Structure 1
Amino acid sequence: MKSGRSTVLAALLTIGAVMVSACSDSATQLVSAADPSAGVDCGGKGELRAGGSTAQAKAIEQFGYAYSRACPGQTVDYVADGSAGGVDDFIANELDLAGSEAALDPAKTQPERAAERCGSPAWNLPVVFSPIAVTYRIAGVNNLSLDGPTLAKIFNGSIGSWDNPVIKALNAGVALPALPIHVVYRGDRASSTASFQRYLDSASDGAWFAGGGDMFNGGIGEAATGNSGVATALQSTEGSITYSEWSFAVGKQLPIAQVVASAGSAPVAISAESVGKTIAGAKFVSDINANNDLVLDTTSLYRPVDHGAYPIVSATYQIVCSKYPDAATGTAVKAFLQAAIGPGQDGLDQYGSIPLPASFSSRVLAAANAIS
């Protein structure tokens, strides 16, 4: 790996026999007690090199444990140094697979450069899905419902008070105070910001005009660093609202708003069931020609058609070669993904991500099985 990526933000996760011995009993119970090698075609190189997205680091920890159980002696070393770094290192042939919140970008010639590195087309396989929570602090308000257009207007400053008629209309019977809204946002680069802004752009019916990316563009509010920073800022100011990873919000016991999705008028809370419905209804750009490059049509996530589906969901891709120049690497990558999509999904919600529903996992598994 490039030495420049060894920063305090990068976490080296050595997943395998060493990690297995360090796992707690509770982590061990996350993997199915059934035959761990069932459905996993073990073999190939003993150690895979992987890296990229920090958002999926905990999920990869679970996947790596499932892989090492299924294929004793085979390990994955994952460096969580960000999606951009992972993609760059994959294209430079420094990684066997990479994790990224965004698919390979044609505008940056990434698919072409990845295909040159692979000697075959590179595929984007979405395996990790994590909900983004909208959290708030309003004394005496234990239930709050918001929708895409309203969230966009809150986070771009068009709505500035909690007793605004638009918010009151979504919260009949709730005593909302005449209190200024204090927006808190991630001031550092964050995948949660990128996902949240993509949702606002897609689900707000034009109310979000600030653009996207992993830096917040709303133009208002208080910046804070990391999930911990935004939580501290939220808790210190009455009337605050922010967004964060679901697992962090739950761990900090922050009030979480329910979100009204485009599919219906009822507000939806985050749960394995509600996010599972969103994943099950996801569409692929490749549905046009039914190939195995499973780039998501993100509109299908942010504007789900199923009632009871939670709409603010972040997806992370595993970027792989469809056919590796080294057959041993291809065999090991396939086995790792089989373990990730299979036993690695058990209890994944305890790590802040949502297990793949059967209808979705079967499509992704078919693509993984085609890797050589």
Structure 2
Amino acid sequence: VPGVDNLVLDAKTLAHIFDGKISSWNDKEIKALNPDAKLPSTKIQAFHRSDESGTTDNFTKYLKAVAPADWKYEGGKAWQAKGGQSAQGSSGLAQQVKQTAGAISYFELSYAADGINTVDIKTKAAEPVKATTENASKAIAAAKVAGKGKDLALELDYNPSADGAYPITLVTYEIACEKGNKADTLPATKSFLNYIASEDGQGQLADAGYAPIPDAIIAKVRETITALS
């Protein structure tokens, strides 16, 4: 947003923006969340993915979970709301945001570089939460393990009360068979997974714009890898 360094939004306002119900950056809803900001009358240019994507699925799950009265769409990998503009891939969205005045979109943090500012999200926590890899890790730490046994699938809280937990966080999984793996390929599989779960592997994620797995969960991941047979 031109002239605004730190912008705060919440699920309700984001739902209204991406559903075309808020059209300018000085709208009263945005002003209420940013009372000290000099918001311009610039027209909002909301961009969504033209292709199916996990980021669309996750973003709309967040809107549906936290602002169900304001986001009436079911969600999924394909964008369902009418209006707005579209681009293919996260790189396409990032490029449009970078070159279009008043633009807003959603994509991986790794694409939010070279002059693209991120939005602070108002949650149930005391302060709005910045989009950082550290805060994404806090959101993962606050998640519940929804899977059973060795299944470590997580159930994220899209409206967390934990300080610093960024709510629009997407978890990527590696899927492996717990038992019955081929003897000739199992060592390579475990070697790959062990590296990803190692301190060295996790240590490289933040530099690439991805969130390391919190200690309590990564310990369970390592135990699961060791038990593969």
TM-score, normalized by the shorter chain, greater than 0.5: yes
Paired residue type of 1:231: A
Q: Which moved more, 1:314-323 or 1:155-164?
A: 155-164
Quote the Cα distance in structure 2 between the aligned partners of 1:307 and 1:205.
Answer: 23
Counterpart contact for 2:109–2:132, Cα < 8 Å: no
Match of 2:103 in 1: 240
Of residues 148, 151, 156 in structure 2, which corresponds to 1:293?
Answer: 151
Count of residues in correspondence between the two structures: 228
Q: Secondary structure at the match of 2:170?
A: strand
Match of 1:370 in 2: 227
Offset, 1:161: 2.3
Unmatched 5+ stretches in structure 1: 1-137
Q: How does 1:26-41 map to 2 (within 5 A)?
A: none
Q: Secondary structure at the match of 2:106?
A: strand
Counterpart contact for 2:125–2:163, Cα < 8 Å: yes
1:329-357: CA deviations, max 9, x gaps? 33332232122111311121112211112
Q: Secondary structure at the match of 2:131?
A: coil
Offset, 1:370: 1.8
Of residues 197, 209, 214 in structure 2, which corresponds to 1:352?
Answer: 209
Offset, 1:205: 4.1
Of residues 121, 124, 133 in structure 2, which corresponds to 1:259?
Answer: 121
Unmatched 5+ stretches in structure 2: none
Q: Secondary structure at the match of 1:145?
A: strand
1:306 maps onto 2:134 in alignment: no
Counterpart contact for 2:139–2:166, Cα < 8 Å: yes
- Structure 1 length normalisation: TM-score? 0.58
Offset, 1:281: 1.1
Structure whose residues are more often strand by fraction: 1
- Structure 2 length normalisation: TM-score? 0.91
Offset, 1:265: 4.1
Offset, 1:249: 1.0
Offset, 1:316: 0.9
Match of 1:191 in 2: 54
Q: CA RMSD in A?
A: 1.8
Quote the Cα distance in structure 2 between the aligned partners of 1:278 and 1:318.
Answer: 19
Offset, 1:233: 2.5
Q: How does 1:324-363 map to 2 (within 5 A)?
A: 324-342=180-198, 343-363=200-220
1:47-69: CA deviations, max 9, x gaps? xxxxxxxxxxxxxxxxxxxxxxx
Q: Secondary structure at the match of 2:139?
A: helix
Q: Which has the higher contact order (CA 8 A, sep 6+)?
A: 1
1:202-260: CA deviations, max 9, x gaps? 2224321122222222211111122332233223432221112111112x320111111
1:154-199: CA deviations, max 9, x gaps? 1112222222221111101111123332211111222222221122
Quote the Cα distance in structure 2 between the aligned partners of 1:168 and 1:152.
Answer: 16
Q: Which moved more, 1:197-206 or 1:359-368?
A: 197-206
